[in-house]
Amino acid sequence: MGFLYSQFFGTPAYPKGNFSGKTIVVTGSNVGLGKEAARHYARLGAGKLILAVRSVDKGRTAKEDIVRTTGHKNTQVWKLDMGDYSSIQSFAKRAEAELDRIDILIANAGVVRAEYHEVNGHEEGIAINVIATTLLMANMMPKMRDTASQFNTRPTFTITGSGAYEHTTFPQRSAPDGQILTTLSDRETCEKYWSQQYPVSKLIQLLIVRAIADDHPASEFPVVVNIVNPGLCWSQLAREATGWGFWFFRLIVARSTEVGSRTLVHAGASGMETHGKYLSDCMVEEPSPLVTDAAGKKGQERIAAEVIKAIEAIQPGVSKKFQTT
């Protein structure tokens, strides 16, 4: 579906369903898409709703608003700073200790910057959107697998992606083997291709989801891992974007965060047919040739290996958490 057609005519359906008894985690849920997705889950009766946020104070404000509008009785605010790898590990340990189950995790926290910033030795978008998100996914897999076996269900780990992934040629994939992440964080290279930096981070998220599904197919893996494009929305994610042109374009074209959040709720509630898939407008969509052609598949293999190596450097043995035996 074309971008403009999708924005104007592809309005996602208002979420329905019953999430009673389910434990749902939404990261980056103090504002924007994450907050509105959390509000939908609360409205639909989630048994337990965890707002995983960097600022606990802002999370509490979001909780108050969600509870006021939905009457939800079990919304909790947990600390999770995706820019701090130890925070991710602590969050996972807390979830293991305090939660009986995790049925849905919406990995919504992400960044887009107007200029270069470095976090943990990488450009911030790569550090948070790619490495931290993969580290979180790996650390949450044991609890989500346990949920599957104990409650005879199939949990879902959903990443908030973006159709922006199509707006890059991924020039950094020409780097030597083992050097793509390094090249993506090299300041000179970043500034040369800055307009592609965020799209590349979203492309890599998609490649990681596909790589995980290739290594752990739905027939053998009890957790659904998918990625969703919410469309262009009025969100604080783009708060650093400058220029009247972009502001005016967004004014005319963008969805509200509530409408965009419907796609997150749908993806989180989707079944094994969406494992490894890219969803847009509440439908599975075939990715562009940049992902599916021979060069794309080779790029997927290379970048997935680098990202796994990166999370192993942070937490040795963490990639084994994907294994089912």
The conformation of residue 13, written as its DSSP 8-state character, comes to P
**How confident is the model at residue 235, as a pLDDT?**
61
Contact 23, 47 (CB under 8 A): yes
- Average pLDDT estimate for 119-131: 98
- Average pLDDT estimate for 147-160: 98
C-alpha span between 141 and 147 (Å, rounded)? 10
- Average pLDDT estimate for 257-273: 96
Contact 307, 256 (CB under 8 A): no
**How confident is the model at residue 184, as a pLDDT?**
97
State the pairing for strand pair 23-27/104-107. parallel
**How confident is the model at residue 163, as a pLDDT?**
92
Confidence of residue 256 (pLDDT cuts 50, 70, 90): confident
Give catalytic residues, as residue numbers.
198, 202
- Average pLDDT estimate for 78-105: 99
- Average pLDDT estimate for 93-99: 99
Confidence of residue 231 (pLDDT cuts 50, 70, 90): confident
**How confident is the model at residue 253, as a pLDDT?**
53
Position 249 pLDDT exceeds 60: no
Query: b/e string for 72-111 if b means 16 or more Cβ within 10 A?
Result: beebebbebbbbbbebbbbbbeebeeebebbbbbbbbbbb
**How confident is the model at residue 303, as a pLDDT?**
98
Enter the tokens of residue 56: 């606990």
Closest C-alpha to 216, from 275, 267, 159: 275
- Average pLDDT estimate for 264-268: 98
Position 185 pLDDT exceeds 50: yes
| End-to-end Cα, the chain, rounded Å | 40
Position 13 pLDDT exceeds 90: no
**How confident is the model at residue 127, as a pLDDT?**
98
pLDDT digits (tens, 9 = 90+) for 191-215: 999 999 999 999 999 999 999 999 9
Confidence of residue 254 (pLDDT cuts 50, 70, 90): low
Average pLDDT score over the chain: 92
**How confident is the model at residue 246, as a pLDDT?**
42
Q: Which residue has the higher pLDDT, 132 or 12?
A: 132
- Average pLDDT estimate for 214-237: 87
Enter the tokens of residue 249: 């374009």
Confidence of residue 7 (pLDDT cuts 50, 70, 90): very low
Confidence of residue 236 (pLDDT cuts 50, 70, 90): low
All structural domains of the chain: 16-314 (3.40.50.720)
Position 244 pLDDT exceeds 80: no
Position 234 pLDDT exceeds 90: no
Cβ burial of 148 (10 Å; 0-12, 13-18, 19+) is: buried
Amino acid at 120: N
Confidence of residue 243 (pLDDT cuts 50, 70, 90): very low
Single pTM value for the model: 0.92
Position 241 pLDDT exceeds 60: no
- Average pLDDT estimate for 104-116: 95
pLDDT digits (tens, 9 = 90+) for 20-44: 999 999 999 999 999 999 999 999 9
Position 299 pLDDT exceeds 70: yes
Q: What are the distances in angstroms from CA 61 to CA 35, 65, 122?
A: 11, 6, 31
